[in-house]
A and B are shown apart, each in its own frame.
Chain A
């Protein structure tokens, strides 16, 4: 509605369609139709399963896959599962946290180099970041088993320079598991970091150096804060899957490095204890969601998507 001073405002229908407004009704329905199939799929096979998982976690633990389970609201499943597997739960969070920190350092260097220093090699370097995805995750992890092997090159070299004792080993230690996690989830850190660094206006960094900030100061006062959305997204995309992973712990660790993923997996597939497995899986999810909420609140970035 437009009105000019002096002229009485006359309510008339706006003859010019406003393009910034919502599209007409037909097109609005098109949006629903387009998203409906994907929404149904994610609803049925992502959202509904969580409900099943929660009910499984409350089943009577005396049932089995063969005889069936009864819903008895057996909340004690949680107490039992967490009590019994507390060390694996804590270890998962610890390993995933260390791996995420290492990924952040390595990933930041790589993302920064690609965004600001790579010049015409930018595209090639980005392709190379994704390329390792194309060999099997399991095969790459098995390679680390070979690289870190007891009489392998790395261990021999470290023993020669006395970093490692003559009997010390890398394989089947927390070091190997954390190294594996760091390696496997690094691309998930690099890509969001790159996306966020790429968007930074280079003039802001120049301005900081014009104002006599040292490069280091400029980095911590300008570049790093502006890359926060990437840091948050990358940290989440690394930490969350790493906390649930069991492949690295299984292939590179020993029973002393078992993580919660190993426990859930074996409860479901070999021991058939669905109630305990469900309780543990729900607990992992709850812990992760809580940690993420606290982290996102502290890091102060709301727009993740």
Chain B
């Protein structure tokens, strides 16, 4: 009887874990395809939705990179860089205000911050376009309008991420530093800031990938500029050049390396502190 129950219990425990892992595997199937296709030699056939032959050419010969693709990648990187910088700065300040300060209108501020994350992108994108057109900037859509839009939608994600980190901190640590005669400023830079930093870094990473990847809002507010997702979209109508998959794979590898090494560093630090 107990044996049977034990078996059922083991099965219960491992069944759910197994199913969870299956769901996780499913989310990686399309990524495996992107990686695979980055090694596909599509020069022999027009059918780009099929694996033809293994080649390293897509990786090794940047000269063969499709027309305009490299420019679109550079544009996306520079927009993502500036959007991340501004959104992380403004968002971190706002997160401090929301967690560490009490002021009138705090709860409505929290709501306004949640709304961009929940609004459909098409509505945000079209309302920004309506604003730009009605205020006479309709002809100047491009780098600046894309940047404005990206800072706008990254802000909420930064605020929420930093807020979560800050909310989990014990503010007695700061008090303790000040009891030990640190000035408010020293307590901030020596104690609070280093503890919040992982949250800020995570927020910046999230911002960068959201901005680099955005299509719907960008497409409405970009004018003649072509970002990387727009390049992919445009080429999807004709047939995607395999080099696009190289960029996708490289992005994935870089981001995962950063995240995993940050996690490893955090664990080492925790271990060192415990020892």
Q: Which residues of B contact A269 (CB under 8 A)?
A: 219-220
B→A interface (CB under 8 Å): 12-14, 16-17, 19-21, 23-24, 26-31, 33-34, 37, 49-50, 90-91, 93-94, 96-98, 100-103, 106, 109-124, 126-131, 133-135, 138, 148-149, 151-152, 155-156, 159, 209, 212-213, 215-216, 219-220, 228-229, 232-233, 236, 240, 244-245, 247-249, 251-252, 254-256, 259-260, 263
Q: Is A247 an interface residue (CB 8 A)?
A: yes
In the complex, the chain A residue whose C-beta lies closest to that of B256 is: A131
Q: Main secondary structure on chain A at its contact with chain B?
A: helix
Q: In the complex the two chains form, what is the Cα distance from A136 to B254 in whole Å? A: 13
B273 to chain A, nearest CB (A): 17
Query: Is A142's CB under 8 angstroms from B120's CB?
Result: no
Query: Is A131's CB under 8 angstroms from B252's CB?
Result: yes
Q: In the complex the two chains form, what is the Cα distance from A127 to B17 in whole Å? A: 16
- Count how many pairs of residues, one from A and one from B, have CB atoms less than 8 Å apart in the complex: 267
Q: In the complex the two chains form, what is the Cα distance from A140 to B251 in whole Å? A: 13
Q: Which residues of A contact B130 (CB under 8 A)?
A: 49, 52-53, 55-56, 274, 278
Query: Is B28's CB under 8 angstroms from A132's CB?
Result: yes
- What 1/0 flags go to A40-56 for Cβ under 8 Å of B? 01100111111011011
Q: In the complex the two chains form, what is the Cα distance from A28 to B244 in whole Å? A: 50
Query: Is A34's CB under 8 angstroms from B101's CB?
Result: yes
Interface stretch, picked from A10-18, A74-82, A105-113, A160-168, is A105-113
Q: Which residues of B contact A244 (CB under 8 A)?
A: 119-123, 216
- Determine which of A41, A113, A127 lies in contact with B21 in the assembled complex, contact meaning CB atoms within 8 Å: A113
Excluding A131-B31, A240-B119, A288-B120, 5 further A-B contacts by CB distance (< 8 Å) are: A38-B94, A39-B94, A49-B124, A128-B28, A132-B31
Query: Is B127's CB under 8 angstroms from A281's CB?
Result: yes
A104-160 CB contacts (< 8 Å) to partner B: 106-107, 109-110, 112-114, 116-118, 123, 125, 127-147, 149
B90 to chain A, nearest CB (A): 4
Query: Is A136's CB under 8 angstroms from B27's CB?
Result: no
- Determine which of A130, A132, A143 lies in contact with B259 in the assembled complex, contact meaning CB atoms within 8 Å: A130
Asked if A45 meets B128 with Cβ closer than 8 Å, knowing A32-B103, A113-B21, A125-B24, the reply is yes
Query: Is A41's CB under 8 angstroms from B151's CB?
Result: yes
Q: In the complex the two chains form, what is the Cα distance from A200 to B252 in whole Å? A: 33
Q: Which residues of A contact B138 (CB under 8 A)?
A: 65
In the complex, the chain A residue whose C-beta lies closest to that of B267 is: A123
Query: Is B233's CB under 8 angstroms from A281's CB?
Result: no
A→B interface (CB under 8 Å): 22-23, 27-28, 30-35, 37-39, 41-42, 45-50, 52-53, 55-56, 65, 106-107, 109-110, 112-114, 116-118, 123, 125, 127-147, 149, 183, 186-187, 215, 236-237, 240-241, 243-247, 251, 260-261, 264-265, 268-269, 274, 277-278, 281, 284-285, 288, 292, 304-305
Asked if A65 meets B133 with Cβ closer than 8 Å, knowing A53-B127, A136-B251, the reply is yes
Q: Which residues of B contact A285 (CB under 8 A)?
A: 119-120, 123
Query: Is B16's CB under 8 angstroms from A113's CB?
Result: yes
Asked if A52 meets B259 with Cβ closer than 8 Å, knowing A34-B93, A37-B93, A132-B28, the reply is no
Query: Is B97's CB under 8 angstroms from A49's CB?
Result: no
Q: In the complex the two chains form, what is the Cα distance from A65 to B129 in whole Å? A: 12
In the complex, the chain A residue whose C-beta lies closest to that of B28 is: A132
Max chain B Cβ within 10 angstroms of own Cβ: one of A136, A139, A215, A265: A139
Query: Is B249's CB under 8 angstroms from A135's CB?
Result: yes
Query: Is B152's CB under 8 angstroms from A42's CB?
Result: yes
In the complex, the chain A residue whose C-beta lies closest to that of B129 is: A268
Asked if A241 meets B23 with Cβ closer than 8 Å, knowing A117-B16, A127-B260, the reply is no
Query: Is B133's CB under 8 angstroms from A129's CB?
Result: no
Task: Pick 25 A–B contacts, CB within 8 A, sort by A.
Answer: A35-B93, A35-B98, A35-B103, A37-B94, A45-B152, A52-B131, A52-B135, A56-B133, A107-B23, A113-B21, A131-B255, A134-B251, A134-B252, A134-B254, A135-B251, A136-B251, A137-B229, A138-B215, A139-B30, A139-B34, A146-B33, A146-B49, A277-B126, A281-B127, A284-B120
Top 6 nearest A-B pairs (CB, nearest first) are: A244-B120, A113-B20, A31-B101, A143-B30, A134-B255, A34-B97
Q: Which residues of B contact A265 (CB under 8 A)?
A: 122, 216, 219-220
- Determine which of A109, A114, A142, A288 lies in contact with B232 in the assembled complex, contact meaning CB atoms within 8 Å: A142
Query: Is A305's CB under 8 angstroms from B110's CB?
Result: yes
Asked if A53 meets B123 with Cβ closer than 8 Å, knowing A135-B252, A274-B130, the reply is yes
Query: Is A143's CB under 8 angstroms from B33's CB?
Result: yes
Q: In the complex the two chains form, what is the Cα distance from A37 to B158 in whole Å? A: 14
Q: In the complex the two chains form, what is the Cα distance from A39 to B248 in whole Å? A: 34
In the complex, the chain B residue whose C-beta lies closest to that of A130 is: B259
